[in-house]
């Protein structure tokens, strides 16, 4: 009966090559994310969480329900903001303006974002979010955490759990982070801004 379903990726499994291989997509989307979906559906059956949105579950739960709901929300935000590699892929529109105003340049923003991703200890996520004043915030979130629990609007995330990069980059997390910029879909990031 499962309320939540595995998202369909808005691109083919081989579309993100060479940044992310089809093998990584097969495991990351097809196995890891599917398991979080199955786990959450099993855990919330017959509970107060049945019928809630993912964001509301993340804001109101803890323990296993939080971990699985958080990981579904995180992965949906991750996978849905990617696209096939683009030459000289740059932010556009509102997000380009906001990055330039707050970070000085896209290069400076990338450096800070990658530094936060590379220095996160263990498993987690590096995020770009928008606060209630419309300011951009870069944050590290451990394990299944998501910036919505801090009142932020998540705009972009790079997954730094090892399963996100180990097949393609082995232990070279910084190389994965720097390669990701060519597959960010900035139109999706703009749509997430308030
Ligand atoms: Mn992941």
The per-residue pLDDT string of the chain (194 residues; one tens digit each, 9 = 90 and over) reads: 458 999 999 999 999 999 999 999 999 999 999 999 999 999 999 999 999 999 999 999 999 999 999 999 999 999 999 999 999 999 999 999 999 999 999 999 999 999 999 999 999 999 999 999 999 999 999 999 999 999 999 999 999 999 999 999 999 999 999 999 999 999 999 999 98
Asked if 22-80 and 93-192 have one fold, the answer is: no
Q: How many residues does the chain have?
A: 194
H/E run at residue 163? helix 162-169
Helix, strand and coil in the chain, % to nearest 5: 55, 10, 35
Rounded to the nearest 10°, the torsion over CA 154, 51, 58, 114 is -30
Q: Which CATH architecture has domain 22-80?
A: Orthogonal Bundle (1.10)
The pTM for the full model equals: 0.98
Q: What is the pLDDT of residue 1?
A: 45
Q: What is the pLDDT of residue 2?
A: 53
Q: How much distance in Å is there from the Cα of 113 to the middle of ligand 1? A: 18
CATH (one of 3.55.40.20, 3.90.1300.10, 3.20.10.10, 3.40.50.1370) for 93-192: 3.55.40.20
Q: How much distance in Å is there from the Cα of 164 to the middle of ligand 1? A: 5
With 0-12 / 13-18 / 19 or more C-beta atoms within 10 angstroms meaning exposed / middle / buried, residue 101 is exposed
Q: Is 126 helix (H, G, I), strand (E, B) or coil?
A: strand
Q: How much distance in Å is there from the Cα of 104 to the middle of ligand 1? A: 30
End-to-end alpha-carbon separation of the chain, Å?
A: 34
Q: How much distance in Å is there from the Cα of 75 to the middle of ligand 1? A: 6
Query: What are all long-range contacts of 117-122, with beta carbons under 8 Å and residues at least 24 apart?
Result: 117/158, 117/160, 117/173, 117/177, 118/173, 118/174, 118/177, 120/160
Q: Where are the domains of the chain?
A: 22-80, 93-192
Q: What is the pLDDT of residue 22?
A: 98
């Amino acid at each position: 009966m499962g309320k939540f379903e595995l998202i369909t990726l808005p691109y083919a499994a081989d579309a993100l090559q060479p940044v992310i291989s089809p093998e990584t997509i097969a495991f990351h989307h097809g196995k890891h994310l599917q398991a979080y979906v199955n786990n959450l559906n099993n855990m919330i059956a017959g509970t107060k969480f049945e019928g809630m949105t993912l964001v509301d579950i993340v804001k109101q739960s803890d323990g296993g329900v939080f971990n699985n709901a958080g990981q579904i929300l995180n992965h949906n935000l991750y996978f849905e903001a990617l696209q096939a590699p683009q030459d000289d892929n740059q932010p556009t529109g509102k997000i380009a303006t906001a990055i330039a105003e707050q970070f000085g340049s896209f290069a400076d923003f990338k450096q800070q974002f990658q530094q936060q991703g590379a220095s996160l200890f263990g498993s987690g996520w590096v995020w770009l979010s928008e606060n209630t004043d419309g300011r951009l915030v870069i944050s590290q979130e451990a394990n299944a955490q998501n910036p919505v629990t801090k009142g932020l609007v998540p705009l972009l995330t790079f997954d730094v759990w090892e399963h996100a990069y180990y097949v393609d980059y082995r232990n070279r997390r910084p190389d994965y982070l720097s390669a990701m910029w060519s597959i960010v879909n900035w139109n999706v990031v703009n749509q997430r801004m308030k």
